[in-house]
Amino acid sequence: MGETQPKRPSAVLVIDVGGTHVKILATGQKEPRKIDSGTFMTAARMVREVKKAARDWSYGRVSIGYPGPLVHGRPIHNPFNLGPGWVGFDFREAFGCPVKLINDAAMQALGSYRGGRMLFLGLGTGLGSAMIVNGLIEPMEIAHLPYKKGRTYEDYLGRSGLARLGKKKWRKHVLAVVAMLKAALEADDIVVGGGNAKKLKGLPPAVRLGSNENAFLGGFRMWEKEPSGA
């Protein structure tokens, strides 16, 4: 991939951390790059792999979409689908530049936002969720709340639920949860994103498919002085 490039202070490297892949994109680049992820992926390994994959890209700031809750921009527990070592890890020191962390669903929501009351649901390895109301973003942890038969929302809508239920039943549960949350949260715009969103069919009014590329847009927006939309 070439030699390491000098840093560009204003350029941003966006890292979307997932249970299957870590995806990266930098300012001025057109094609994201993927790194295999899984239960072996510790925070330190993620940094090493990302720096290696992006060594020919120039950047001076980093945005990280983290698959879990954060307080004051710091992880409060390790991700369910990844390895250990995320809590207390010094990402700024590791990357050698300013770093901002945000919940991964919130980052994609930020990139998807068009105004009003928007609910974002991310259908991937797990289930991500975030709400934006009049420009104010609030990550949520719906995934591990009880849903049916002693199982959580993530157990039904995440990758394991898709494998257990099959596409037809999985789609029914996704649409049922969307309708329930739309009514409960009074959302006027619902975005369903994540890697498995493309498996849905026949979305109801006020529900639209998101794009994984919106996660990168959200990561870039995190550094804007007056972010577009949120």
Q: What is the CATH number of the domain that holds 138?
A: 3.30.420.40
| CA distance linking residue 86 with residue 75, whole number of Å | 7
Tokens of 129: 């969720």
219 to 17, 31, 191, 229: CA distances (angstroms): 12, 15, 17, 13
102 and 118 within one domain: no
Determine, yes or no, domain membership for 31.
Answer: yes
Determine, yes or no, domain membership for 77.
Answer: yes
Determine, yes or no, domain membership for 82.
Answer: yes
Angle at 9 between CA 7 and CA 14, to 5 degrees: 85
Handedness of CA 183, 185, 186, 190 (dihedral sign): negative
Determine, yes or no, domain membership for 3.
Answer: no
Pairing label, strands 117-123, 189-193:
parallel
Determine, yes or no, domain membership for 68.
Answer: yes
- List per-residue pLDDT tens for the chain, 230 residues long: 555 565 788 899 999 998 889 999 999 999 999 999 999 999 999 999 999 999 999 999 999 999 988 998 999 999 988 999 999 999 999 999 999 999 999 999 999 999 999 999 999 888 999 999 999 999 898 999 999 999 999 999 999 999 999 999 999 999 999 999 999 999 999 999 988 999 998 899 999 999 888 999 999 999 986 444 44
Determine, yes or no, domain membership for 1.
Answer: no
Determine, yes or no, domain membership for 7.
Answer: no
129 and 95 within one domain: no
Determine, yes or no, domain membership for 227.
Answer: no
What residue numbers bound the domain in which 79 lies? 12-106+217-221
Instruction: Report the number of distinct structural domains present in the chain.
Output: 2
